[in-house]
Amino acid sequence: MTKNRKLLDWVEEIRELCKPDSVYWCDGSKEEYDRLMNEMVASGMAIRLDEKKRPNSFAFNSDPSDVARVESRTYIASKKQEDAGPTNNWIDPTELKKTMLDLYDGCMKGRTLYVIPFSMGPVGSPIAKIGIEITDSPYVVTNMHIMTRVGNNVLEVLGENGEFIPCLHSVGAPLAAGQKDSRWPCAPIEEKYIAHFTDENTIWSYGSGYGGNALLGKKCLALRIASNMARHEGWMAEHMLILRMTNPEGKKFHIAAAFPSACGKTNLAMLQSTVEGWNVECIGDDIAWMKIGSEGKLYAINPEAGFFGVAPGTSKESNPMALASVSSNAIFTNVVVTDDNDVWWEDMGTECSGGKDWLNKDWKPGMKDANGKKILGAHPNSRFTAPASQCPVICPDWEDPNGVPIDIFIFGGRRTTTIPLVHEAFNFNHGVYLGATAASEPTAAALDVVQKLRFDPFAMKPFIGYHVSDYIDHWFEMGDKLGDQAPRCFYVNWFRKDEQGKWLWPGFGENSRVLKWMCERVEGKIDAVETPIGLMPCKGDLLLDGLDISSEDYAELMKVDTNLFNKSLDDVGEYFASFGSNISPRLIKELDSLRSRLQ
């Protein structure tokens, strides 16, 4: 147990407020994990999967109303509204606390209050931070065991006077005496609140048991709270995968990449290189914390210890390494539990004869509802939780407390037109512009019609814990500090199509060809062609051997149509206008320079 007064007082204060039946301090041990899982199996909340097919693995079905992050109920409750900016919901913190205190009052009746001491980042790393999550959900405890480092060693590092980030969570479903619990307790949507009190680095979450709403180390702490701390403390908390690419001579390159959801971030993080002699290892698939370290370079750690990945679409073809990572000791939420007690999801690449769907109802592939619409077995946002250490291509240095030196930043989005496969920024400030204007099309766009773009700056739109303009300024300022040690910036688009709607680039493992080009650029081995939008591969530098791409298709894939590009800048201008008056002049300057280069 701890002697940290602040922590003991906080736990006591929350006990008095939430009125649980008991208080339990988590030690992070395997015994603890096994005991909680056994209890959840006994209560009917968890399903134990077949021990031979999927050892020590469990499946859960959430309440149908509690299947994803709820951005409409997520708040940055800074004292001043302008500090939250146009990309966040805001409520005055005093008012929000009052509302939430009423909800928290007695909310853990009939339940256990679990105290989870956890470290984001290797315990004791100079880049790591300690959080304490209080929760009434044993599902959250077991997921936190996998996603973070939980245990007494965290309390040792915390010591008597150390600082921690308080993270309060309740599913918001108190039990009356004798009341039977539901399989997935949670509160109705209008009572859900995911609140960040950024002036005091505190998180309060109420009413949801799911993913980013409830595993508070991930999006709430490691992105929203951490991005705000990082800005004040001169480091970076980003929604980025981290990977190491090693060339045939053994030289290592470290890449951090930001993509909005549904752009294959986990797939790229665990990519199987198709380029002979070039090898890729995974360091993280979702979050990067980066600090300036030795020789003025930017060093990154993955603050997480596991993967909380989207299951549907994960197959031997798309991501064999993710499949291997979930072969044991995994938690599945909202997938199909098959008749033989294993798991299945859409586009897993295997046959399924039937089982129970994500609602725990009898299900067979091809089933249709009353309107003739196919019934999905797994929810589109169904998830696996698995220890990162189980990934066959996890980098041996993934837990290095000092992190790895980042050479390359990649930004991207999903665009069927306009944006070529790859281009490099002229310099870091231009790179910041590329990250700030990262965007996807809302749907598979009608070709040759530029639809309104969905901007997702640095893939951080739902996760920036402060004003988006200040966030972009922070990127520029980090570039100033890093000077010529700053990572080189690239923009990719794996999703370009031809006029018939055919993908022009094969993607997946073949993306290693593009990464190789970037590494060779960084090494200074190859030149690039200067275009108005940035630097692009010289003929022959992007390895295409063995790919079935005609020279016409390659030209289309790399084409920069200045007219089309110019048109999309109207959307950029409109988007920047939504930032308000404190938009960074440097961002405007980059847009103006791009406009004039395109003339």
Residues 6+ away with beta carbon under 8 Å from 91: 75, 77, 99, 195
Least separation in angstroms between residue 536's CB and ligand OXD is 29
Q: Are 562 and 594 in contact (CB under 8 A)?
A: no
Tell me the C-alpha to C-alpha distance, in Å, between residue 169 and each of 73, 172, 220, 487, 513. 14, 9, 11, 37, 44
Nearest CA to 394 among 402, 384, 386, 406?
Answer: 386
Active-site residue set = 263
Binder among 66, 286, 342, 441 for Mn ion (CB under 5 A)? 286
Least separation in angstroms between residue 121's CB and ligand OXD is 17
244: β partners: 254, 281
Q: What is the 3-state secondary structure (H, E, C) of 367-384?
A: CECCCCCECCCCCCCCEE
410: β partners: 257, 490
d(CA 455, CA 569): 12
Subset of 154-213 contacting ligand OXD (CB under 6 A): 212
User: Is the dihedral angle over the CA atoms 551, 553, 557, 561 positive or is it negative?
Assistant: positive
Nearest CA to 255 among 277, 234, 281?
Answer: 281
Given the rule CB under 5 A, which of 3-11, 279-287, 502-510, 558-566 is the region that contacts Mn ion? 279-287
| Among ligand OXD, Mn ion, none, residue 306 binds (CB under 5-8 Å by kind) | none
Q: What is the 3-state secondary structure (H, E, C) of 226-264?
A: HHHHHHHHCCEEECCEEEEEECCCCCEEEEEEECCCCCC
Which lies closer to Mn ion via its Cβ, residue 83 or residue 286?
Answer: 286
Given the rule CB under 5 A, which of 35-43, 244-252, 284-292, 520-528 is the region that contacts Mn ion? 284-292
Which lies closer to Mn ion via its Cβ, residue 461 or residue 559?
Answer: 461
| Among Mn ion, ligand OXD, none, residue 238 binds (CB under 5-8 Å by kind) | none
Subset of 210-249 contacting ligand OXD (CB under 6 A): 212
Least separation in angstroms between residue 206's CB and ligand OXD is 20
Binder among 261, 328, 402, 451 for ligand OXD (CB under 6 A)? 261
Nearest CA to 284 among 386, 187, 395, 188?
Answer: 395
Which lies closer to Mn ion via its Cβ, residue 285 or residue 357?
Answer: 285
Least separation in angstroms between residue 213's CB and Mn ion is 13
Count of residues near ligand OXD by CB under 6 A: 4
Given the rule CB under 5 A, which of 173-181, 285-293, 361-369, 561-569 is the region that contacts Mn ion? 285-293
Given the rule CB under 5 A, which of 171-179, 281-289, 300-308, 507-515 is the region that contacts Mn ion? 281-289
Which lies closer to ligand OXD via its Cβ, residue 214 or residue 395?
Answer: 214
Binder among 286, 304, 342, 424 for ligand OXD (CB under 6 A)? 286
Which lies closer to ligand OXD via its Cβ, residue 32 or residue 286?
Answer: 286
| Among Mn ion, ligand OXD, none, residue 212 binds (CB under 5-8 Å by kind) | ligand OXD
Q: Using CB atoms, what's the residue nearest to Mn ion?
A: 286
Please give the structure tokens belonging to residue 426.
Answer: 């002229």
Residues in the chain: 599
Which lies closer to ligand OXD via its Cβ, residue 278 or residue 358?
Answer: 358
> Helix, strand, or coil here: 450?
coil
Least separation in angstroms between residue 223's CB and ligand OXD is 9
End-to-end Cα, the chain, rounded Å: 67
> Helix, strand, or coil here: 145?
helix
Q: What is the 3-state secondary structure (H, E, C) of 115-136?
A: EEEEEECCCCCCCCEEEEEEEC
Tell me the C-alpha to C-alpha distance, in Å, between residue 343 and each of 49, 115, 361. 8, 31, 14
Least separation in angstroms between residue 321's CB and Mn ion is 18
Least separation in angstroms between residue 71's CB and ligand OXD is 10
Which lies closer to ligand OXD via its Cβ, residue 307 or residue 475?
Answer: 307
Subset of 62-101 contacting ligand OXD (CB under 6 A): 69
**Site residues for Mn ion per CB under 5 A:** 286
**Site residues for ligand OXD per CB under 6 A:** 69, 212, 261, 286
